[in-house]
Structure 1
């Protein structure tokens, strides 16, 4: 009996050791990829490739507009606008802001609880209609909670470069590790340069140059303060905002960002 227990213990220990070895190897792979980015711009990101595949399957066409431009050819207005909108502490943090993650987690918990209560009320209403014998109208769709990420620009880049968009604890943990690797290997200027050249600004529109040409018919270097702020507003939901980039919300929020841009420190 003791021998069986010992054998089982050794098997568990070997399995744990193998898992740890695989995890370490994966982090070394990410580290090597990041080290190359010191001198070589990434040709595409995991997010871009997944989007291209989705468009090819759903729409039977490949939409991809992207042109890499170096840091000096990206308007300082756009850099300030994106930092002011997405990550005010970008110049100072080490890749992760734990207070922002905690605040986002608390807000998401409340949003999920609120959505669950609404959905339960909808289900009860549908059940009462069914019991009354009335022909119910088209069932009301369930409400999805509006979740926020609390991610820094570095974390967003980590996710876009290497990971999927799924919301799991394991994916978030890996995102945080990669963010620290990015900050350890690349300087802030390079992180922001890669981010601005790869982030999505609409369906099939990636990077500052493609966004500037698509929305304003100018190069990324020529973006003024207000157009740059409008692009920054679009980043959390580019597919939604691209349908009406001149909406009252985008315009109003852009004005707020312009007011904050003067206090932004560039790396």
Structure 2
């Protein structure tokens, strides 16, 4: 085999190693330290938009917000391994009928997308999202996934994480959120740049009422056990 071919194989192996090891290294790092600003945050900063990002450990975030997130976004969070196939199938059936597009992403998938990837709906990003979801489910605890999710999700234009959102909308710390306030924060997650949590319109009020009612089932049925328990 010629030297050129050997060199080419060596370069290819190095590239493949980087492609495989880089995501693993990122997931391992964020398992123990807060993630850096996400690509969405950086994009907004480049555009001159403000970015309010305040990390808070899960023990400094009200359990009400954990329950609200599970109730609104991913009722099977503690029982699936990153993908809720029933929710995906329901979303596909709904979208096939026309009307507003509905997603079937779990909290794990949303966390993978928000922390490691860029905004968008292209198939390359969706494929990488699936890979990162498998990785974080394998490496992180459910409690850590929820902690990171609540700290990087956008809750208003340029407002990221539970603490910044709580201060922005209610003038209080995330640890002090009431069930009603937590339900309102969860209710605006589908479109945090369109809706308001502090002075909501009819749609958010109705959705928040449903979320708050579902929070009771989350508590009573132990749907939050992987987070509020030992996880």
What TM-score do the two structures reach when normalised by structure 1? 0.73
Deviation string for 1:50-92 (max 9, x for gaps)?
23223x2xxxxx3111211111110000110011000000011
The answer (yes or no) to whether the contact 1:159–1:175 under 8 Å persists in 2 is yes
Structure 1 unaligned runs (5+)?
1-10, 57-61, 115-145
Q: How many residues align?
A: 214
Structure 1 residue 217 and structure 2 residue 204: aligned? Answer: no
Deviation string for 1:112-150 (max 9, x for gaps)?
xx6xxxxxxxxxxxxxxxxxxxxxxxxxxxxxxx32221
1:34 to 24, 27, 30: 27
Residue 114 (structure 2) aligns with: 160
Q: Structure 1 pair 171/227, CA: closer, same or farther in 2 (3 Å)?
A: same
Q: Give 1:22 shift.
A: 4.9
Residue 97 (structure 1) aligns with: 84
Q: Alignment partner of 1:201: what SS?
A: strand
Q: Alignment partner of 1:147: what SS?
A: coil
Q: In structure 1, how many angstroms separate the alpha carbons of the residues matched to 2:23 and 2:212? A: 36
Q: In structure 1, how many angstroms separate the alpha carbons of the residues matched to 2:66 and 2:198? A: 23
Q: In structure 1, how many angstroms separate the alpha carbons of the residues matched to 2:102 and 2:27? A: 26
Q: Structure 1 pair 245/29, CA: closer, same or farther in 2 (3 Å)?
A: farther
Residue 254 (structure 1) aligns with: 208
Q: Give 1:248 shift.
A: 1.4
Q: Structure 1 pair 89/24, CA: closer, same or farther in 2 (3 Å)?
A: farther
2:36 to 35, 38, 43: 43
Q: In structure 1, how many angstroms separate the alpha carbons of the residues matched to 2:44 and 2:18? A: 27
Structure 2 unaligned runs (5+)?
none
Q: Alignment partner of 1:262: what SS?
A: helix
Q: In structure 1, how many angstroms separate the alpha carbons of the residues matched to 2:19 and 2:88? A: 24
Counterparts of residues 1-267 of structure 1 (less than 5 Å): 18=12, 22=15, 25-54=18-47, 56=48, 62-111=49-98, 146-242=100-196, 245-264=199-218, 265-266=223-224, 267=227
Question: Larger Cα Rg: Structure 1 or Structure 2?
Answer: 1
Residue 130 (structure 1) aligns with: none
Residue 137 (structure 1) aligns with: none
Q: Alignment partner of 1:241: what SS?
A: coil
Q: Give 1:180 shift.
A: 0.8
Q: In structure 1, how many angstroms separate the alpha carbons of the residues matched to 2:26 and 2:36? A: 12
Q: In structure 2, how many angstroms separate the alpha carbons of the residues matched to 1:254 and 1:31? A: 37
The answer (yes or no) to whether the contact 2:183–2:211 under 8 Å persists in 1 is yes
The answer (yes or no) to whether the contact 1:90–1:152 under 8 Å persists in 2 is yes
Q: Give 1:21 shift.
A: 7.6
Q: Alignment partner of 2:154: what SS?
A: coil
